[in-house]
Amino acid sequence: MSSGIWTERYRPIKFSEIVGQDNSVKRVEALTNSMNIPHMLFAGPAGTGKSTLALIVVKELYGENWKENYLELNASDERGINVVREKVKNFARTKSLGNIPFKIIFLDEADALTPEAQQALRRTMENYSTTCRFILSCNYSSKIIDPIQSRCAIFKFKLLEKKDIEKVIAKIAEKENLVVKPEAVEVLYEGCEGDCRKCINIMQSTASISPLITSELVATIISNTKPRDIKIVLDYALSGDFQKSKEKLLDIMLRESISGQDVIKAIQKEIWNLPVEPTIKVKLTEKTGEIEFRIIEGSDPFIQLQSLLASFVLAGLGRE
């Protein structure tokens, strides 16, 4: 749930310190306390505590011997079948140290494993189940083949809510002697979008400048487009002034160093605050998604954003 300089200092060492994932944490804690866990699959967005929970399980089971009984692999770097055949099998076939009769292999970003590697992993999980337990972490469980999912207890993780992010911010502020303004908490939450790791990184960057964390300072660090700036762009477009809308958008992108995809996200959020009919909002949202796809596929961001603004102009004129 954390990274950077503050990682080890604030990495939770108890199940109760993981916020926002009560149901999953309680189930995993109960299994760990029984001193016998099944293969487990942690699925959910980044920065929600999946890797941290796996580490807590290992430390609770093995105590000081946890390093000798734990293998962590990042499947996004080592994603081929040879990893499963060599590293995983070599570790899985050896006996554990201590009272726990099995070792633990943690496969981070398991959804990046190739289909062939997942098929090989399926057999390995079955053959070495007496000497090894697997904990798989992924963003999308649908990318894990069904035979592996059926062998695992599946735990779903969700993005953290504002109250959970506030707990993390308050804890760090107390430990680091920081003063976080209430409005800065709001900007931090909007900037991290429920990703706790991202929130901590933003706080760390901000605190390196000043122990007083304000909304303006946070906004400068995360370089996000300010909603009021995007609102001005869209207001110009809806009033039919395409030229001023385009110039204001270019000014925002150059002055704030905002990428096309960040602008798209800001526009998408602002659409639902516009004084237009709900049916038009739906059409504009659909158009926004189409433009984002084109940008991701490699189209020129500014040309595509101009096309989007043209749609807003037409909507303002009642032609969309």
199 pLDDT exceeds 60? Answer: yes
Would 263 be classed as within a structural domain? yes
Which of 183, 203, 222 terminates a domain? The answer is: 222
In this prediction, residue 315 carries a pLDDT of 86
pLDDT score of 155: 94
CATH value at residue 40: 3.40.50.300
By the 10 Å C-beta count (0-12 exposed, 13-18 middle, 19+ buried), 158 is classed as: middle
- Return the axis-axis angle of helices 301-316 and 242-255, rounded to nearest 10°: 140
**Do residues 211 and 293 share a domain?**
no
Here the CATH number for the domain that contains residue 266 is 1.20.272.10
- For 60, phi then psi, to 5°, come to -70, -40
pTM: 0.74
State which residues form the domain around 25. Answer: 21-156
Predicted pLDDT at 7: 45
- The residues near 40 (Cβ < 8 Å, ≥ 6 apart) are 28, 31, 133, 134, 135, 136, 152, 153, 154, 155
Task: Let me know if residue 215 belongs to a domain.
Answer: yes
Quick one: 210 and 131 in the same domain?
no
pLDDT at 10 (0 to 100): 41
Same domain, 42 and 152: yes
Residue 5 counted as domain residue: no
Q: At what angle do helices 260-271 and 301-316 cross, to 10 degrees?
A: 20
Whether residue 271 is contained in a domain is answered as yes
Q: How many domains does the chain have?
A: 3
In sequence order, the β-bridge partners of residue 41 are 136, 154
Judge if 114 and 187 occupy the same domain: no
Q: Specify the pLDDT at position 5.
A: 38
Same domain, 26 and 151: yes
Say yes or no: 173 and 136 in one domain.
Answer: no
Regarding whether 119 and 54 lie in a shared domain, the answer is yes
- One domain, residues 202 and 285: no
Q: Is 4 within a domain?
A: no
The answer to whether residues 203 and 221 touch, using CB atoms and an 8 Å cutoff, is no
Model confidence pLDDT, tens digit, residues 71-108: 888 766 666 667 667 777 788 788 888 888 899 999 88
Whether 91 and 201 map to the same domain: the answer is no
Domain at 215, CATH number = 1.10.8.60
Q: Are residues 93 and 134 in the same domain?
A: yes
What's the average model confidence in pLDDT over 237-250?
Answer: 91
| b/e code 137-149 from CB counts within 10 Å (16+ = b) | bbbebeebeeebe
Q: Residues 64, 142: one domain? A: yes
